[in-house]
Amino acid sequence: MSLNRSEWDDLFESFPAWLCPTCQMGRLRVKAPVPVCETGPSIAAKDDPNWQPDWVIKRFACFAECNDGDCKEVVAISGNVVRPDVYNDKYGFVPGGDYYKIASIVPAPLPFMLGEEVPSDVTAAVKAASTLIWADSEAAANKIRIAVEHFLNERKVPKSTINKKRKRQSLSLHTRIEKYKAKNKDLANHLMALKWIGNNGSHTAALKRKDVLDGFQILHHIIDEAYYKTRIKLTELSKDIIKRKGRPKVRRKLKPLSRTSRKRSV
Ligand SMILES: [Zn+2]
């Protein structure tokens, strides 16, 4: 399952059919109609002679149910209804239609499937990032960084070392990823990219949701390579062993060289 970025837009005219976070098989269907309420301060503001349509503040809250008959998980969605300006040739920028701006989904849809093969700590960090992405991109990026740390723990990359003063010293995430390069250079490069996304999440406010989605995409590749592809290879290996009933693999006999080819090879 590849990441469908349109399911993590900032604004929605209608809700996408996210993959159910519980069974990871069914799709979430929002129960219509979606209740929308205008806030008291927003209604009161209409008495102001300078009132403008873009002063309106509305909230929404609804449920979505998994369409898998054996699951029927229910998720709660809430946030604001916003009316972004659209450009009009005659009047310039004017308020457009209503859009849902999600602030919270509980439990949140996952950006990719998380099977039993994935260590529980990594799964927990991805779930936390999936929840936070709706409210706080920087916090979500920080959880991706934590997922990287758990991944390295599971891969038995040391967390600390003994320094020259014979004291135990923690290793930075950067150093740990460098160490992991010896085991898997390709995945280590992907982990380094995630480290930078996580760093931005910790230190600046410039990080956007699209950066977190980049992080999800890279993390998906790492998890796929580290756990699922390994599983597929092992399944194929087991099938092969069963087929051979444990007998050693038959090696193809090399054909003896013909007289002419012998001559050529000399
Ligand atoms: Zn479900």
| CA 124 to the chain's CA centroid | 12
Phi, psi of 124 (to 5 degrees): -60, -40
Write the CB contacts of 53 (distance below 8 Å, at least 6 apart in sequence): 83, 95
Query: HSE (CB half, 13 Å, CA atoms) of 16?
Result: 17
Ligand 1 centroid, distance to 104 Cα (angstroms): 18
Ligand 1 centroid, distance to 116 Cα (angstroms): 16
Ligand 1 centroid, distance to 128 Cα (angstroms): 19
pLDDT of residue 87: 81
pLDDT of residue 201: 58
List per-residue pLDDT tens for the chain, 266 residues long.
Answer: 678 999 999 999 999 999 999 999 999 999 889 999 999 999 999 999 999 888 899 999 999 999 999 999 999 999 999 988 778 888 777 777 899 999 999 999 999 999 999 999 999 999 999 999 999 999 999 999 999 999 999 999 999 999 888 899 999 999 999 999 999 999 999 999 999 887 765 665 578 999 999 999 999 999 999 998 766 666 676 777 777 777 766 655 555 555 544 444 43
Identify the bridge partners of residue 139 per DSSP, sorted by sequence position. Answer: none
- DSSP 8-state symbol, 54: G
Ligand 1 centroid, distance to 246 Cα (angstroms): 41
With vertex at residue 15, the alpha carbon angle to CA 88 and CA 46, rounded to the nearest 5 degrees, is 50
Reference 129, options 120, 116, 142, 117; nearest CA is 142
pLDDT of residue 243: 76
Amino acid type, 239: K
Residue 234: strand, helix, or coil: helix
Ligand 1 centroid, distance to 65 Cα (angstroms): 8
pLDDT of residue 262: 47
